[in-house]
Structure 1
Amino acid sequence: MNFFDLHCDTLYKAVTEKSELDNPLYEVKLNNDSEFHKLQCYAIWLPDELDGNEAEKLFFKSAEYLKSECNRLGIELFGIGEFLDNAFSKHRNSAFFTVENGKALNGKIENVKRFAELGVRIMTLTWNDNNEIGSGVLSKDKCGLTDFGKLAISEMEKYGIVIDISHAGDELFYDVVNQTNKPFIATHSDSRTITQNPRNLTDEQIKIIISRGGIIGLNLHNAFLNNNPDKACTEDILRHCEYMLSLGCENFLCFGTDFDGCDLPKDIVGSDSIGGIYELFLKNNYNESILKKIFYENAYKFFENFDNQRIM
């Protein structure tokens, strides 16, 4: 089987722990030994506690580290506009470089182009607090997009970096809707109707994202899957999936696991559990064609189409 994961925090973990991306203790292992072929988005998380200079420095350090690790392990690292035709056909795994928290820009608009040149495919605009771009989901100042943020997302669209609204506050979400022309995505968010967590998406937000041609990655964090995190399990993934499919997400639903960055349900251990999740879907009468869409085709087609539209 094939698997396209829109989000994990393994890169941050490896860089800050001075480890390797194929560390067997990590929930995601960057190697070619897994039972399925995957395209893994590796996010460098920039904690809100970092100042702009620290965040920018960590970003560039991580960019060099990911490139080095991919070369060492024989993993294909896809940059902007590079054809994905062979991503699942060479019997090797592939990677995208992504950014979680626009604080990495350090308030420098020229960094958007620099990030694109380094192959950044996705940027999550905020983490939970405010940054130069706008207000995160837990920020007290519900400012939405700042003037710098409006300029930043315009540059992101220009240079082909996909805008990610996971972690955005609702005010920021609707400002992005009004300020963008291209599809934007939610890499790792679930349904707020099913689990009443502000990090999840409302029905209206889900419908807006898919109406614009964006995609949504199912997050496996226990607190997003179940209102009682201690009781979260793989069946909760089905609940969120079924509900989002009822809203019209068949061609837009994906996975954004958040591996190595969240508390998982007790019956999920990391990427080694993906095969079991696939089997659970089959046992619940999901046909292969829909599962192929959710597990990799929807994300694959999104990036293929997005790159064809870029003007860089």
Structure 2
Amino acid sequence: MKLPVIDFHCDVLSKMREDGGISFQNDPKLDVTYDRLIQGGVSMQCFAIYLSEKWGIPKYEYILDQIDAFKNRVMKTGGGVRWLRWKEDADELAHTIQHPAAAKGGQGPVPWGLLSVEGADGFEGSLFYVRMCYEMGVRFLGITWNYANWAADGVLEKRNGGFTEKGRKLIDLSNDIGLLLDVSHLSQAGFWELTERTNRPFIASHSNAKAVCPHPRNLTDEQVRAIVAMDGRIGMTFVPWFVRAGGEGPVRPQELLPHIEHFCELGAEKHLMVGSDFDGIDTWIEGLEHPGLYPAFAELLCKHYSEDLVRNWLSGNALSYLGTHLPSKGSGAAH
């Protein structure tokens, strides 16, 4: 069963920065490829710009390298990947999802790509660099990776600090220009400080339910309720150790069902989406190793839930958020 999918997190771009020979078309070094997006019915893929610790001191040029890889290697692959930056783009995507036969060329909808930055480290403490990345087309910012940076503490930072003074200015700037924020790696203290300071609902792009699997990167019930209350979004993720604790034997797709059930019990039925973390992992859920397998996952979900619910989790909830909170083309940002 092929249903439209919007996936809010993958790490293709950091792999492409490390290996200039990788082809986005169908390279076996990648989980997410153009061919697999088409195979799996992925209408939009969010590409995270991640700066690996093994690259040394984070630099702004590493962010620019990955924007360049997206523009010149991802977007020019196959039938083309379209860049989703504006509310109007989200509206067009919604139309193509609802009327797939109207897609140009009769080959089915061309996938869209969205850019996020995972961890503010590479901005080198410069709010000007943040603004420039927004004007270059980045639309989401995960404030930290797992540890502390100049803006805030990550979820694995033992002191569990919140935002620095410059980090608070980052929140204000993001609210002002329309850069949307992602808390998946943020510390508990930072999460609650952000709920008080932001005036735009944020997302957790790739996190599961801590009550089901007690990993530090998963969300507590209180965090889930807070995201629901602000009409944010939660991307269930396919990282095996965020799905089931212990590591005995392979994790299977049906083990995501308790997470979905728990999110729904907390009122997140209209706030749940997908954030696979493909290409950010080297161990996979068995039977959900790449986006070409989304149809089988959709079929599994439809055995337990209505097709309308499943459609919303796979794309509808993410799409309504994008259509509401992305900036319009006439909002004053550079085109």
For the aligned pair, the TM-score class normalised by the smaller chain equals over 0.9
The structural deviation recorded for 1:136 is 0.4
Distance 1:198 1:56, change over 3 A: same
Give the Cα–Cα distance (whole angstroms) in 1 for the partners of residues 209 and 239 of structure 2. 12
Higher relative contact order (CA 8 A, sep 6+): 2
Question: 252-261 or 233-242: which moved more?
Answer: 233-242
- Paired residue for 1:94? 112
Q: Which amino acid aligns with 2:15?
A: K
TM-score in terms of structure 2 length: 0.88
Task: Name the TM-score, length of structure 1 as normaliser.
Answer: 0.94
Segments of structure 2 that go 5 or more residues without pairing to the other structure are 97-102, 104-108
Q: Over residues 83-123 of structure 1, what are the superposed CA-to-partner deviations in whole Å (9 max), with x where a residue is unaligned? A: 22222613111100111111121100111210111111111
Distance in 1, Cα, partners of 2:255 & 2:196: 33
Q: Find the aligned partners of 1:81 and 1:87 in 2 and give their Cα distance.
A: 10
Confirm whether residue 14 of structure 1 aligns to residue 19 of structure 2.
no
Do residues 307 (structure 1) and 310 (structure 2) align?
Answer: no
The whole-number CA distance in structure 2 between the counterparts of 1:200 and 1:81 is 29
Alignment of 1:69-88 (within 5 A): 69-73=73-77, 74-87=80-93
TM superposition shift of 1:82: 4.2
* Distance in 1, Cα, partners of 2:285 & 2:89: 35
- Paired position in structure 2 for 1:280: 300
CA deviations over 1:180-218 (Å, ceiling 9, x no partner): 111011000000000001100000000001111100000
Q: RMSD of the TM alignment (CA)?
A: 1.8
The question of 1:56 aligning with 2:60 is answered yes
**Cα distance between partner residues in 2 of 1:298 and 1:59:** 28
Q: Which amino acid aligns with 2:291?
A: S
Gaps of 5+ in 1: none
Large movers: runs of 4+ above 4 Å: 48-52, 308-312
1:247 and 1:311 mapped to 2: Cα distance?
Answer: 38
Contact 2:16 2:69 in 1 (8 A): no
Identity of aligned residues (%): 26
Query: For residues 37 and 233 of structure 1, do their structure 2 counterparts lie closer, same or farther at Cα, with a shift above 3 Å needed?
Result: closer
Q: Is the 8 A contact 1:11 1:21 kept in 2?
A: no
**After alignment, is 138-147 or 80-89 more displaced?**
80-89
> Residue 271 of structure 1: which of 291, 305, 309 is its match?
291
* 3-state SS of paired residue (2:139): strand
Report the AA paired with residue 83 of structure 2: L
The range that moved more, 90-99 or 188-197, is: 90-99
Secondary structure of the structure 2 residue equivalent to 1:148: helix
The AA in structure 1 aligned to 2:19 is E
> What's the offset of the Cα at 1:55?
2.9
